Amino acid sequence: MLWLALHFPLLPIEALPLRQSPSAVVSRGRVLVGDLAARLAGVCAGQKLSTALGLQPGLMVFERDELREIKALESLACWAGRFTPTISVVSPDVLLLEIGSCLRLFGGAPAIIEAVLAGCAEQSYSTNWAAAPTPLGASWLARNACAGIHIEISAMQAALADLPCAIDEWPGEVIDRIESFGLKRLGDLRQLPGAGLRRRIGNQPMDDLLRAWGDLPDPQKPFAFPESFAIDLELPARVEHAEALAFAGQRLFAALAGWLHGRQLLLRCCTLHLAHDDGEKTPLALRFSEPAADEGRFMRLLREHLARLQLKAPVEALCLQADELLDKPGASAHLFEQAATGEGALACLERLRARLGEGAVQALSPMADHRPECATFRHEVVTCSPHDMRASTAVGQHRPLWLLPNPQALVECAGRPQWHGQLKLLSRAERLESGWWDEGEAGATGDVRRDYFVARNPLGQWAWVFRDAQGWFLHGLFA
């Protein structure tokens, strides 16, 4: 798995609709965050309000609106549905996207991350990011502005080791106690004995360290796309010309397109409500000739409507509501973009053999043998017909398609096999005792006596392992 963490450090102020620069958001009499002009004047997080006003007398001050921040994060989560269906919202200012399963669709991690960051910038959000195998590790790196793609867990752990020990989620007394030890970096903290450190700083920080490093599983609560779509947006200033609403509407339609992708729906009709400064609303209905889920198409139709619309009063807010929805029909893509009419599967296989060479295209069929190494055989595809695939087999229901060429010996610790951490056995033992008839023959598998298990490691990888008289071995991987 590969998690992309998006940290929005200025979310409390960027979620506000009406603001002027310089401005800052305060909470309990202290500055929470300030915009660029305020920071240039010396205003920083944690300052007393009186100090900030002394540095910048013209500072516009706003109280923190946590509800507005939550709505902004949820809107971003809906928008991110176009990139991945697995999204988690981590309060108060982090969004987690599992992009490992979508890399091939977008052409690799750099391409999908570039698209995500470009979308955040189009919506006027300042973003710190990091990609790592664990969600908490990616979140910590993003919060510390350590932008980078850490595919391997060892690279992530090296980057985490350089982070300061002042983790935002940890209580202040825990951070003070760690500083009293003379420790500055998480890597130094990891070097201390775990049992003693747990007694001194508590269970939560120690468990967080293990989750960030990948030693403990860290399941995330998935973001639930709303059953219906209705989202509003207050404008930063009153708009008197309809064409100027297209820029603000783009944020709403970007969230709608992501929600449609996440819910696998198509839109036939939606309504954009224009809230005027006199309290009245103007509904603007957008109907499509055929169901759609493309943001570009939404915006083209919106601009056509806005070009003909005369506002009866300035607009202060927008609300977009999806009215008519249809399920997206499933479709299978062709192997070749433009296949010739009447070309069947055998003709396609002939072309593949001609391009790749004789023997390069083969098929697998089952054999009546319990031993995994002997349960299948390869043959030429052209000689295969549906009647040739009736060979019975004793293969169990929980076997992977990917077998290692040779079983890999595993380290055993406290009676449990280890593979990128301790393996958790998820099934009962499947006892295999077979092959006595070819024991001692050259090149034969021979007599096999093994107990097979389905197992999972802390990284979420599923494996097929067995135990015999020599110990534990990894034999296959599940997709």
pLDDT mean over 56-76: 90
pLDDT given at position 331: 60
Per-residue pLDDT tens for 170-182?
888 888 888 888 8
Per-residue pLDDT tens for 100-128?
988 888 889 999 999 999 999 988 899 99
Residue 341 has pLDDT above 50, yes or no: no
User: Per-residue confidence at 392, pLDDT binned at 50, 70, 90?
Assistant: very low
- Higher confidence at residue 396 or residue 276? 276
pLDDT given at position 114: 94
Residue 430 has pLDDT above 50, yes or no: yes
Contacts of 113 (CB under 8 A, 6+ apart): 4, 99, 129, 131, 149
The pLDDT mean for the chain works out to: 85
User: Per-residue confidence at 333, pLDDT binned at 50, 70, 90?
Assistant: low
Residue 218 has pLDDT above 70, yes or no: yes
Residue 5 has pLDDT above 50, yes or no: yes
Residue 394 has pLDDT above 70, yes or no: no
Residue 320 CA, chain-centre distance (Å), reads 26
CATH 3.30.70 fits domain 3-16+65-213: yes
Whole-structure pTM value? 0.64
pLDDT given at position 390: 42
Amino acid making up residue 457: N
Phi, psi of 190 (to 5 degrees): -70, -20
Residue 221 has pLDDT above 80, yes or no: yes
Provide the token pair at 472: 């534990």
When mean pLDDT is compared across 64-68, 297-301, 340-344, 455-459, the lowest value belongs to 340-344
Residue 370 has pLDDT above 50, yes or no: yes
Residues 441, 447: contact at Cβ < 8 Å? no
Residues 262, 97: contact at Cβ < 8 Å? no
Residue 325 has pLDDT above 60, yes or no: yes
pLDDT given at position 387: 43
Residue 427, by phi and psi: left (phi above 0), alpha (psi -120 to 50) or beta? Answer: beta
Residue 436 has pLDDT above 80, yes or no: no
pLDDT given at position 138: 95
CATH T-level topology, domain 230-327: Dna Ligase; domain 1 (3.30.1490)
Per-residue pLDDT tens for 235-250?
888 888 888 898 888 8
pLDDT given at position 18: 63
pLDDT mean over 440-468: 84
Same fold, 3-16+65-213 and 230-327: no
Provide the token pair at 133: 């195998």
High-pLDDT (> 70) share of the chain, %: 88
Rounded to an integer, what distance in angstroms lies between the CA atom of residue 23 and that of residue 232? 23
Locate the domains of the chain by residue range. 3-16+65-213, 230-327, 345-389, 402-477
- Higher confidence at residue 275 or residue 368? 275
User: Per-residue confidence at 388, pLDDT binned at 50, 70, 90?
Assistant: very low
When mean pLDDT is compared across 54-63, 72-81, 388-397, 451-460, the lowest value belongs to 388-397
Provide the token pair at 368: 């009546």
